[in-house]
Amino acid sequence: MHVFYLSTFIAAVILSIIYVLIWQRRFDITITFCFFMVPFLNLAYYLMYTVNTVDTVVFALKITYLGGVYLIWFLMLCVFNLCKIQLHPKLRLATFVLNTLTYLSVLTIGIYPIFYKGLHISKQNGEWQIVKEYAFMHTIFYGVIFAEMIASLAALIYSRIKKHDVSRAVLNLLFGPIFTCFAGYILNHYIFRRIDVMPLMYVLAELVYLLIVRRMMLYELSDTVIETMVQSGTRGFINLGFDNSYLGSNETAKRIIPGLRELAVDDRIKENEPLGQTLLPWIRSFKIDGREGKLLYTRSDPADENEEVIYNVSVHYLYDGTERRGYQIFLADDTQNQKYIRLIDQYNAELEEEVAAKTARITDIQNKMVLGMAMMVESRDNSTGGHIRRTSDVVKILVEEMKKDRELDLSPKFCEDLIKAAPMHDLGKIAVDDSILRKPGLYFPEEYEIMKTHAEKGAGIVREILKDTDDEEFSRLAENVAHYHHERWDGKGYPMGLKGEEIPYEARIMSIADVYDALVSKRVYKEKLSFEEADRIIKGNMGTQFDPGLYRYYEAARPLLEDYYRDIK
């Protein structure tokens, strides 16, 4: 028994290798899937009878059912494709879902009595004996299989009678895989009980598919199509040998390139300087690319020298059967298309410039509106005059120091966005009542709770202002700055009580700038602190209020910060 399963696996692999060697892009994807799946299934059959544990036997058994569930489905799709019968996408989806649900029931083997009521596995004389008690889903499994087989047969019979654009030889061969699979199920169920013949049936189906694809290769019409196009006179063609000898051209090519009329067959192109300068670069380009090259050839219109005619140039290998014998150059009038492309390119370039200019104007207006709102908020708050401008400058000074750290690797856009977003950090104060915002002294606890809502309200305002912008990254960063700049590293901040790296990086930077300005600036409820006192407080709160990882950047920026505040004094 082991030898049988091993032999079918090896045979399946060999046939799949043969298929790979003759594979062409136009081969039906369903056939390719079958050649991929059969070796995999036959390997599962072999492992099912050679592994050492019951669990592995059950696993391999589940894999073998992939053939019954999906291989038959792909066989049906293949039949419909080759018969040129369009299967409605919803019907194709429905059959896929039905097959998938069926296979999901297969996965319950050994767990729930859905596909099998019972499964008894024992080892006798060194070989596994598997006794199955089928449940209701197994009946449905057979129903699905036979329904798909019947659909395939119906399509084949219909095509055999009604359709004349499908090869009769291919139709006859397509009966083979259906017959082998059907025979396999009958033989397994009624005749062979100790050995599963499905791996052999799969191999036979592969053989039939190889005959089908070999037959299909006879119906390649591309060469005939090219020949028709050449003879119709709509395209010019030039044939050259690998030694650049002239092999011939049609009348259209001679009208496009008059110098061809002077050539005799076997003349060398490079000996004719004008033609050599025209044709040889096309050949060189094709040889360098290693694929079919597409170039343009422009000449003046014989009917009007002020107009130009543009030809599309395609270079291919010239074949004698399967042997490459030289190069074939095709020329087709592409004037209107190229003029249209040029017009579109010019229009797109102008449009891009216009859009870029308008976008820049809109962004500038948006930035000025945001800054204006921030200044309006600040004008209501009699305790923070100039805070918006100063904190923005402090953020810029900190960011400039951070950019010097290559290990930190801050992106230029992040730095630019953070500086641009800094003025928005207190926008939420616009929603705070004047009686609290303009209070000339310390807040009562209940007033402070209301004041703390400005962070969350500010995030909402920023979100609404920027919701239609195309720069989602900036919108997210600006919202984070407004929302979380009062969060603390130790989790005792507001409004969310975020802790450590839960706090967005941009908000951690904003927090230092916000507090530093508050310390060294005069407020209605306090005098400004000296730089030394402010520095002591900032350092003392590193690791509690502020991200300790930002300390070195603050320390590096401190002399610049002190110079900045001395200047604005």
Tell me the per-residue pLDDT of 228-267, one tens digit each, with 9 for 90 and over: 555 555 678 888 888 888 888 888 888 888 888 888 767 8
Is it the case that residue 381 has pLDDT exceeding 70? no
What is the residue whose two structure tokens read 């005069």? 522
Is it the case that residue 569 has pLDDT exceeding 70? no
Per-residue pLDDT averaged across 82-100, rounded?
Answer: 89
Rounded CA-CA distance 445/451 in Å is 10
Lowest mean pLDDT among 59-63, 118-122, 417-421: 118-122
pLDDT of residue 131: 78
Q: Quick check: helix, strand or coil at residue 241? A: strand
75: which residues sit within 8 A by CB, 6+ positions away? 30, 34, 148, 152, 177, 178, 181, 205
Is it the case that residue 224 has pLDDT exceeding 50? no
Confidence of residue 1 (pLDDT cuts 50, 70, 90): low
Is it the case that residue 356 has pLDDT exceeding 80? no
CA 486 from chain centre, in angstroms, equals: 39
What is the residue whose two structure tokens read 């039939």? 208
Rounded CA-CA distance 343/337 in Å is 10
For the chain, what is the mean pLDDT? 82
Domain boundaries, the chain: 2-218, 222-333, 353-568
Q: What is the pTM of this model?
A: 0.42
Per-residue pLDDT averaged across 134-159, rounded?
Answer: 88
Confidence of residue 216 (pLDDT cuts 50, 70, 90): low
CATH 3.40.50.1370 is the classification of domain 353-568: no
From residue 117, alpha-carbon distances to 132, 186, 506 in Å are 8, 22, 61
Token duo for residue 237: 């063609």
Fold of 222-333: Beta-Lactamase (3.30.450)
17: which residues sit within 8 A by CB, 6+ positions away? none
Lowest mean pLDDT among 304-308, 430-434, 472-476: 304-308
Per-residue pLDDT averaged across 339-350, rounded?
Answer: 81
Element (H, E) at 87: none
Is it the case that residue 58 has pLDDT exceeding 90? no
Lowest mean pLDDT among 10-14, 162-166, 414-418: 162-166
Lowest mean pLDDT among 128-137, 160-169, 519-528, 560-569: 160-169
In our burial notation (b when 16+ CB lie closer than 10 A, e otherwise), range 294-316 reads eeebeeeeeeeeeeebbbbbbbb
Q: What is the CA radius of gyration of the chain?
A: 39
CATH number of 2-218: 1.20.1070
**Long-range contacts at 194-201 (CB < 8 A, ≥ 24 apart):** 194/1, 195/1, 195/4, 196/45, 196/64, 198/45, 198/64, 198/67, 198/68, 199/4, 199/5, 199/8, 199/9, 199/12, 199/41, 199/42, 199/45, 199/46, 200/4, 200/8
